[in-house]
Amino acid sequence: MEIIRNIKVLQNSLKTERMRGRAIGFVPTMGALHDGHMSLIRTARLENDILIASIFLNPIQFGPSEDFEKYPKDMDGDISKLRGADVDMAFLPDASAMYPEGFSTAVDVRGLSEKLCGGLRPGHFTGVATVIAKLFNIVGPERAYFGQKDYQQGLIIKKLVRDLNMDINVVLCPTRREPDGLAMSSRNLRLGADERKAAAALYMSLSFALEKIKSGILNVREVKGLIKGILSHEPLITDIEYASVYDAESLDELDEITGRAVLAAAVRIGDVRLIDNIPVEGLQNPAKKG
Ligand code: AMP
């Protein structure tokens, strides 16, 4: 595995690979790699000739009071995981190379970026869309892999690619979970033992709500009450930022579940913010029920 920090060096090697007709797969990450990241890498490895993974803790997607400084880091462990997964090139740029003095462009996927997490983390998705647009321009992948764990981010990146006519196939991969259901996340490392136990309530609340939806409860106020009932029962969950059922494409909160939807929630446990979601699909004629 080549470790590349320099943008021009990466662009030049990939130009050569592209001229040879090789399909390039790309997995962008912020590091502290866990099996969620590795599942994307495994899928990408199977579907491409050349596999690039990036590790870049993107400063511009963190607000001033967020956990940029405290975000878990494990560069040596990450590099050996990437090596073990047969990645061809690890791209590890510095913030000063990505955002040199005078950098002044922002990519804003308006509408979707202001909803859910975007409403609570102003500027977050502009930071995400900007770095992903840069990484896509640097790597020029045929396919890029993202996790459904970050559902809103996936929608925004798909929209970015469509709106800017990027010739990239965005592949969304299923959420990998711990045995108690908690979605794997680098931020889980910031939880103390009791907090880690409490965090299981997040997935539990959403999967309980999914069962209720499947059994015919399609009124969102009712479903929301069930989710919040479980979350608020857990004293270590200090804040429920949002928890409800949203349209799967627009992310508008629904009144009634009548088609493709997503159950999504964001909570705080101490100063750790956790998100999760479950798609609601394949309901039998939901509009005719209840
Ligand atoms: P991050 O390093 O948190 O920016 O994540 C890098 C990529 O891994 C993103 O596309 C995430 O959606 C994805 N990812 C993070 N956690 C998981 C998970 N538990 N299962 C699947 N994909 C994940």
What is the tens place of the pLDDT at every residue in 170-188?
999 999 999 999 999 999 9
Pocket test for ligand 1, best of 40, 78, 81 (most atoms within 8 A of CB): 40
Give the predicted TM-score (pTM) of the model: 0.97
In the annotation, is 37 catalytic? yes
State the pLDDT at residue 222.
98
Do the Cβ atoms of 231 and 201 come closer than 8 Å?
yes
- List, in order, residues 6 or more apart from 78 with CB less than 8 Å away: 31, 32, 33, 55
* Residue 18 three-state SS: helix
Q: Angle, nearest 10°, between helix axes 193-214 and 220-232?
A: 160
Spatial CA neighbour of 13 closest among 124, 88, 102: 88
Do the Cβ atoms of 228 and 245 come closer than 8 Å?
no
Cα separation, 23 vs 17, in Å, equals: 8
Those residues of the chain that have pLDDT short of 50 are: 289-290
Strands 261-269 and 272-280: antiparallel
Distance (Å) from CA 27 to ligand 1 centroid: 9
CB 126 near ligand 1, within 6 Å: no
For the chain, how far is it from start to end, CA to CA, in angstroms?
A: 56
Residue having the nearest C-alpha atom to atom 18 of ligand 1: 36
Record the tokens describing residue 22, joined without a space: 């090789």
Do the Cβ atoms of 228 and 254 come closer than 8 Å?
no
Do the Cβ atoms of 155 and 129 come closer than 8 Å?
no
Cα separation, 187 vs 125, in Å, equals: 18
CB 36 near ligand 1, within 6 Å: yes
State the pLDDT at residue 282.
84
Measured from the CA of 185, which atom of ligand 1 is nearest?
A: 16
Measured from the CA of 145, which atom of ligand 1 is nearest?
A: 10
Measured from the CA of 31, which atom of ligand 1 is nearest?
A: 2
- List, in order, residues 6 or more apart from 119 with CB less than 8 Å away: 242
Cα separation, 154 vs 211, in Å, equals: 25
Cα separation, 277 vs 42, in Å, equals: 22
Pocket test for ligand 1, best of 30, 33, 37, 132 (most atoms within 8 A of CB): 37
Positive or negative, the Cα torsion across 229, 284, 246, 254?
A: negative
CB 24 near ligand 1, within 6 Å: no
CB 185 near ligand 1, within 6 Å: yes
State the pLDDT at residue 284.
74
- List, in order, residues 6 or more apart from 117 with CB less than 8 Å away: 124, 125, 152, 266, 275
CB 38 near ligand 1, within 6 Å: no
Distance (Å) from CA 193 to ligand 1 centroid: 22
The one-letter amino acid code at 224 reads K
* Digit-coded pLDDT (tens) for 47-67: 999 999 999 999 999 999 999
Strand order in the sheet with 261-269: 237-247, 261-269, 272-280
Measured from the CA of 28, which atom of ligand 1 is nearest?
A: 6
Distance (Å) from CA 290 to ligand 1 centroid: 36
Longest CA–CA separation in the chain, Å: 60
State the pLDDT at residue 283.
85
State the pLDDT at residue 290.
44
Measured from the CA of 40, which atom of ligand 1 is nearest?
A: 22
Q: Which residues pair with 136 in a beta bridge?
A: none
CB 184 near ligand 1, within 6 Å: yes
Cα separation, 60 vs 119, in Å, equals: 16
From the candidates 34, 37, 124, 233, which is the catalytic residue?
Answer: 37
